[in-house]
Structure 1
Amino acid sequence: MADAPLAIGIDIGGTKVAGGVVDAAGRVLARTRRDTPHRSTSPRVVEDTIVSVVEELLAGTDRAILAVGIGAAGFVAADRATVVFAPHLSWRNEPLRESLGSRVALPIFVDNDANAAVWAEHRFGAGRGETHLVMVNLGTGIGGGVVLDGRVIRGRYGIAGEFGHMQVVPDGIRCECGNRGCWEQYASGNALVREAQALMSAGSPVVSDLFDRVGGRPEDLTGPLVTEAARDGDPLARELLSEIGRWLGIGIADLAAALDPGTFVIGGGVSAAGDLLLGPAREAFRRQLTGRGYRPEAAIVAAELGNEAGLVGAADLARTDALAG
């Protein structure tokens, strides 16, 4: 394993490009990061940043690098070369692999960041040994990825795993995607903060602890602050996380009906709440599961690799595909 080829993984978000040199055991041997202008209008700015990260990582190792894997937050075409749409960047049908290929003398593989994360958890994290794995990432919205029979399932057009836009409430809350009642409007970091802010704006006395934590400024409230309050025992924060968990369990039961995995891995920032979130999710899942009481029940577990799952998975996918030829 020590002599197995290394790969570089790049994780691209709306405001940062993080990179690392990753070995075949999923260990990150070197790391670097660059900030990018928020919602930059120029694809070239982000591409320049990626190239800068790759060059720094290459200069910092004396071992051979086999390939570069890129995990991008957006729709990546099935060719694993083109970013069809990235909501937080200016990429629209951007031929990313071609653009970078002329500047980086290594094989390049592009993937959705959630696909990279689920692969990392499958290979090295909470999903080790599980052949049928679904990952649900709870952040600002909800993303996800699927591994079935040990393969990432990307879909015919490369856009599988957009779980957050399953409709769970007909004519429900309007979503940024344009539809109503999407799952991420009820089980995400945005949903958690929105519900707390609504109570704060209404002047409810039950949110006094949260008011104190943000100095009376509801607009400064964040998901991590709600989670911190819940851990400190605040009843309202615990209730809000429990409600998010309930919706999480309902959506997971729908995914179980469609995909029948052995394990659901829950990642993303909101998952830091641990059993304050996952306990209610498991309960709702059991109540909602089709055929409950007469079928095996998937495990629901917390992700293990945290913020590095994207770059670790991107690197390992690139290494795997480069070796496959």
Structure 2
Amino acid sequence: MFRPHPSGSIAGTPNSEPQNVQHVSQQGSQRITGKLLATQGYVVGIEVSGSGARQSVALANLDGEILYRVRRPLDYVPDSETVLKLLDEMLADVTGHERLQDGRILRVGVAVGGLVDSTRGVVRTLYHAHGWDNFPLQDYFAERLDVPCIIDNNANAAALAEVQRGVGSGERVVLYVGLGRGIGGALVVNGKIYHGETCTAGEIGHMLVRDDGPACSCGHHGHLEAVASARAIAGRMIGLSVEYPETVAALQQLTGGRTERLTADQVFRLAASGDRVAQHIIDEVHSYLGIALANIVHVVNPGMIILGGSVAKAGNLLVQPLQERLQHLCLPAAVQSLRVVQGSLGSEANILGAVTLALQDV
């Protein structure tokens, strides 16, 4: 399998001073992943989507600047073996010798769109893909690349990036909500991700918000993800529109006749233009998302809530109503300094988050 450098082990690199800490992997082997005081070299960021159908690999310098990136989306949901083979090919491209002019690869960070045990480096599951249950992804990349690897949930990674280099800079307690195909969340306190006892902190997409709600990707019913994710918003819009000819016509015009490609952002815009079906759906999104966030606000008391992911492209059509709902639902003291904002990193948040993970120990 691919190795980017014949002497890739960082322990002997002349441009770094390792302060080594040993970690025991799931298989019981020990690996050095201590902190480096590096002056030159690179890190690699890897993004694996929740469906496994979208992945990115980026080469970055030690300032976190992406120097080269490869994206390889697929038109189908692949198994884990297919994804890993593709990632190996992408890594070979990104870390070719001609690109490594200022040292070697020091760290790899991986942002995964699923449930991750970051302390053991294991993907517990991807809700929208198969073949990933209890997969030791951290060990996989560490062995392939012969450098330490850090993996985490993509919402945690994106949150860290927003706090360190985005709209959350300078904030002490930040709640990040990733509203994409699924819904993820992350809590960052004093610049550090709060993982919880079993690394499930922030899984707000699986908060129960509606007893009689639709089925969630995890198999339960009534979770936030089932009513407020991009997939849920578009699917519900298409499903409800069939009884309303004017709405069907609007969807056809908006999508160029390809309603299967309808986006959540388009549904928000339809609602703003006065379409009653879209307004009903978006009112539900605001309502259930507001309930979930209000409960978290009373427990955590964040100073900022950052909304990311494809749904957040709606901007103030999403942000402003949520800010108003929280003011209404929460104790005044809990929201007196709370700001709800749109993430500043956009679609780059996950891959920049992966790079940020890699830089945590550099």
Q: TM-score of the superposition, structure 1-length normalised? A: 0.88
CA distance in 1, matches of 2:268, 2:253: 15
Report whether the alignment pairs 1:260 with 2:301.
yes
Query: 1:35 offset after TM fit, Å?
Result: 3.3
> Offset at 1:79?
2.2
For the residues of structure 1 that align with 2:84 and 2:107, how far apart are their CA atoms? 17
**1:161–1:4 Cα change, 3 Å:** farther
Note if 1:133 corresponds to 2:174: yes
Map 1:197-236 → 2, pairs under 5 A: 197-203=238-244, 205-206=246-247, 208-214=249-255, 219-227=260-268, 229=270, 233-236=273-276
Match of 2:213 in 1: 172
1:159 matched to 2:195: no
Match of 2:230 among 165, 189, 193: 189
* Distance verdict in 2 for CA 1:4–1:298, change over 3 Å: farther
Measure the CA separation in 1 of the matches of 2:271 and 2:170: 33
User: RCO higher in 1 or 2 (8 Å CA, sep ≥ 6)?
Assistant: 1
Note if contact 2:297-2:334 (Cα within 8 Å) is conserved in structure 1: no
Alignment counterpart, residue 51 of structure 1, candidates 88, 102, 108: 88
Residue 94 of structure 1 aligns to a residue in which SS? coil
CA distance in 1, matches of 2:177, 2:89: 31
**1:204, 1:293 → 2: CA distance?**
47
CA distance in 1, matches of 2:62, 2:143: 26
Correspondence for 1:40: 78
2 CA distance for matches of 1:240 and 1:260?
A: 28
Q: List alignment gaps of at least 5 residues for structure 2.
A: 1-37
SS at match of 1:93: coil
Which stretch shows the higher mean deviation, 180-189 or 205-214? 205-214
The answer to whether 1:10 aligns with 2:50 is no
- Higher mean displacement: 309-318 or 134-143: 309-318
Amino acid at match of 2:85: D
Counting matched residue pairs gives 318
Shift of 1:4: 5.6
**CA shift in 2, pair 1:92/1:219, >3 Å:** same
Greater shift after overlay, 115-124 or 138-147? 138-147
- State the superposition RMSD in angstroms: 2.5
Paired letter, 1:302: Q
> Secondary structure at the residue paired with 1:276?
helix
Tell me if 1:305 matches 2:345: yes
- The residue number in structure 2 matching 1:26 is 64
Over residues 197-223 of structure 1, what are the superposed CA-to-partner deviations in whole Å (9 max), with x where a residue is unaligned?
Answer: 233122354554224334667545332
Distance in 2 (CA, whole Å) between partners of 1:135 and 1:303 is 9
Q: Does 1:91 align with 2:132?
A: yes
Q: Is contact 1:67-1:318 (8 Å) kept?
A: yes
Q: Report the AA paired with residue 48 of structure 2.
A: I
Contact 2:172 2:191 in 1 (8 A): yes
Q: 1:229 to 1:23 in 2, by over 3 A?
A: farther
Give the superposition deviation at 1:176: 2.8
Amino acid at match of 1:33: R
d(CA) in 1 for partners of 2:244, 2:181: 25
Tell me whether 116-125 or 310-319 shows the greater mean CA deviation: 310-319
- What residue ranges of structure 1 are gaps of 5+ in the alignment? none
Which amino acid is the alignment partner of residue 34 of structure 1? R
Shift of 1:248: 2.2
Q: Could you tell me which amino acid in structure 2 is paired with residue 201 of structure 1?
A: V
1:279 CA drift (Å): 1.4
One-letter amino acid matched to 1:251: A
- Once residues 242 and 118 of structure 2 are traced to their aligned partners in structure 1, the CA distance between those partners, rounded to angstroms, is 45
- Tell me the alpha carbon deviations over residues 248-304 of structure 1, each in whole angstroms, 9 at most, x when there is no partner: 222211111121111000001011010111111111111111x22675341100001
Tell whether the 8 Å contact from 2:217 to 2:226 is kept in structure 1 after alignment: no
The corresponding residue for 1:100 is 141
SS at match of 1:316: helix
AA matched with 1:82 = V
Structure 2: how far apart are the matches of 1:242 and 1:47? 40
Larger radius of gyration: 2
Question: 1:61 and 2:100 equivalent?
Answer: yes
Return the letter of the residue paired with 1:76: V
Contact 2:164–2:191, Cα closer than 8 Å, also in 1: no
* % identical aligned pairs: 32
**3-state SS, counterpart of residue 134 of structure 2:** strand
Post-superposition offset of 1:85:
1.0
What is the identity, as a one-letter code, of the residue corresponding to 2:358? A
Partner of 1:92, secondary structure, is coil
Which amino acid counterpart does residue 307 of structure 1 have in structure 2? S
Measure the CA separation in 2 of the matches of 1:217 and 1:45: 29
